[in-house]
Amino acid sequence: MTAMPSAGGHPSHPAWYHNISANPAVTVEIGTESSLRCHIFAG
């Protein structure tokens, strides 16, 4: 799964990006619930 943080064209990241940066353990709900660990890639 890939998530692209966007704040509607604003120059800063949205709040949820900072939350994931601080704690990369997340729960994603698409159909059934899954626990995932996020990795932030910069390039």
Q: Spell out the residues 6+ positions from residue 3 whose beta carbon is closer than 8 angstroms to its own.
A: 38
Spell 3-41 as b/e; 16+ CB within 10 A means b. eeeeeeeeeeeeeebeebeeeeeeeeeeeeeeeeeeeee
pLDDT of residue 33 exceeding 80, the answer is no
10, pLDDT greater than 80? yes
Q: Residue range 5-22: average pLDDT?
A: 88
Tokens for 24, please give them: 């990369």
Mean pLDDT of 17-40: 84
